[in-house]
Amino acid sequence: MSMWNAPERGDTYLTESQSIEMDQIERRGPIQSSKRLTPKWTKTTNEAFGDTESVRNGNLAEEMIFNYFSSFYHFAQRNESDRQLQLEDKDITFGWNYWARPYYAGVKYNGSSKDFTIKIEDLLKSQADRWVHANPTTGWYAMYDRKVMIEHIKKLGKLKEGFVSISTQKGERPDFVEVKKVK
């Protein structure tokens, strides 16, 4: 007998590869791994992965960045319940009214005032415009253009590594990485 509930009319289910992809997209840290509780698409990460410390921290990071973006840009929207945007790693939509299009941020719960870690496989798969590494405990975040970071990592010769750590310290961090404290 399956542990999954029978599908209801209109339910959307993920294939095994999509479920694995969602695991990778919604992971909130350099090494932590979460397992979906259901192959059914859910509207929240808590429903998908359970109420764990990792999920709570990821939600806090997204909420911190969403609140900051809402106070800074003309518009900001969390995309937690949008299946397609989540599959594309687009946690938050944001921008100015005069921009030609909205921008998308993939929010990662990791980082400090000193550095952050990037899982290179996830960076390459993401379709977000910007990546934001946020720590809601300290209020620090680092944001950068995802494509520019890929080129930077390629120039460092580390594109085939699993993870790369990037300093946020002045004089050590890449010029294209914006570091701020929002609290």
Note the pLDDT of residue 118.
96
Note the pLDDT of residue 35.
67
Is the residue at 46 inside a domain?
Answer: no
The total domain count for the chain is: 1
Is the residue at 50 inside a domain?
Answer: no
For residue 175, the enclosing domain spans: 56-181
Note the pLDDT of residue 144.
98
Amino acid sitting at position 33:
S
Which two tokens mark 11? 């339910």
| CATH number of the domain that residue 74 is part of | 3.40.1350
Is the residue at 85 inside a domain?
Answer: yes
User: What count of other Cβ atoms lies within 10 Å of the Cβ of residue 84?
Assistant: 8
Note the pLDDT of residue 76.
97
Note the pLDDT of residue 1.
33
Backbone angles phi, psi at 26, to 5 degrees: -90, 0
- Gap between the Cα atoms of 67 and 175, Å rounded: 25
Alpha helices in 41-145, H assignment, sequence order: 45-49, 53-72, 83-87, 120-125
Amino acid sitting at position 37:
L
* pLDDT of the chain, 183 residues: tens digit per residue: 333 333 344 444 444 554 454 444 444 333 334 566 667 666 666 666 676 777 788 899 999 999 999 999 999 999 988 889 988 999 999 999 999 999 999 999 987 778 999 999 999 999 999 999 999 999 999 999 999 999 999 999 999 999 999 999 989 999 999 999 986
Is the residue at 147 inside a domain?
Answer: yes
Note the pLDDT of residue 183.
65
